Amino acid sequence: MLNCRTSACRFADNRAFTLIELLMAMGIIIILSGMILVTIRGISGSAKKQKTIVLLQKMDSLIKQGLQEFDKHDHISGIPDVINNNLEKKDIEVIGRKYHMRLAFPQNFAEATTVNTSLGKILLAKQTSGQYIPASNIPKTESAELAYLLFTEGSVYGVPFADSDSFGTDTIKDTDGDGLMEFVDAWGEPLRFYRWPTRLIRPNGYIESAPDVGATDLIWRMVTSTPPDEITLRRDPDDYTKTVYGRIIKLRDRNIINLTGFFTEGEFPTANTYHTFLIVSSGPDQILALEEPSNVAEFGRLARPTQEILDILMPGGDPATINDNKADKLEALYETGLADNITNLMQLEG
Ligand SMILES: [Ca+2]
Ligand SMILES: [Ca+2]
Ligand SMILES: [Ca+2]
């Protein structure tokens, strides 16, 4: 290398150094700003998640408040004679509980209005006065609208909800413009409410000879922080001894009682299956990956997963494959719209 002693030379040398420095600094700034953007997105994404969990947990505590009131009453009155006349009192209590729970906590408008429930009456009164415009209604909003009506104007056995008026304005919206407010997540999507999410646990329904709750612990891992064990998943929490369903089926098979339209799955939960109230946000991707709570044909009322999820759980539609290759299935499930969903059964992080 030549000795460089003139000031011009030194200047050229310094300038070259400065240019390299400048380029490096620019590079660093570009990299850093990229990282900051990603971090900001991450923070606002997780802030939205936390905000949604807070709303879901508030709704969860209100639901529990309603359930406490519900449990103060016996449920043997007002249920159809076909059940009353043919079953014993302890069985009637189990079935009556479900019958009355559907009336007290409807999750779609058909349930609310077909029987003369208190929430159905409020809904019809709003329709008559023009506060509810049925033509604008979109089915996916119904469960969030009924939850809002229940907490703010409704009651359980005549007892209204306490602390139900403190919801932030950004957690309530009328997304379909039908005049009824909905609970919405931090991404603006209506929440979904499932009273008995039993098809999440048994996507094929109850099969006496081949219980298929096996792979559903994979799904429950995605909707709750603490998934129930398999024994719990195979048991109806209202029928701890697992006997009522069997007795009803025996009576039906002997043609002693005609159960058409009563205690059928869909109207009622799947037999011998765990359930707990589930409120769901479809998460950042706004894909629910469950059938809608108003969907009768696809068992959406019981939170059955969509076909995409079923294809992962049971490739080729064969229920016998449900317990095979669970690790691969779990990996595949994490790629679906189900994985980022947020529910009332999740705990706040940190
Ligand atoms: Ca609506
Ligand atoms: Ca609405
Ligand atoms: Ca989702």
Number of H helices, E strands in the chain: 12, 7
Q: Is 181 domain-assigned?
A: yes
Number of domains comprising the chain: 1
Ligand 3 centroid–CA 159 distance in Å is 35
Residues bordering ligand 3, an ion, CB closer than 5 Å: 282-283, 285, 287, 337, 340-341
Strand ranges for the chain from DSSP E: 155-156, 159-160, 172-173, 182-183, 192-194, 278-281, 342-343
Q: Is 32 domain-assigned?
A: no
Q: Is 9 domain-assigned?
A: no
Q: Cα dist. 293→5, 110, 146, 190 in Å?
A: 83, 11, 11, 12
In the chain, which stretches have pLDDT less than 70?
A: 1-17, 36-43, 209-216, 255-263, 349-350
Alpha carbons within 13 angstroms on the beta-carbon side of residue 108 total: 19
Residue 289: nearest ligand to its CA?
3
Question: Are 242 and 272 in contact, with CB atoms under 8 Å apart?
Answer: yes
Helix (H, G, I), strand (E, B) or coil at 109: helix
* Res 263: pLDDT: 67
15-73 per-position pLDDT tens digit: 566 777 888 888 887 777 777 666 666 667 799 999 999 999 999 999 999 999 999 99
Ligand 1 centroid–CA 136 distance in Å is 7
Ligand 1 centroid–CA 143 distance in Å is 9
Stated pTM of the model = 0.84
Q: Is 167 domain-assigned?
A: yes
Residue with tokens 């014993």: 88
* Res 210: pLDDT: 57
C-alpha 75/C-alpha 158 separation (Å) is: 15
Q: Is 35 domain-assigned?
A: no
Q: Is 180 domain-assigned?
A: yes
Q: Is 26 domain-assigned?
A: no
**What range defines the domain where residue 82 resides?**
50-343
Q: Is 19 domain-assigned?
A: no
* Res 156: pLDDT: 93
Residue 138: nearest ligand to its CA?
1
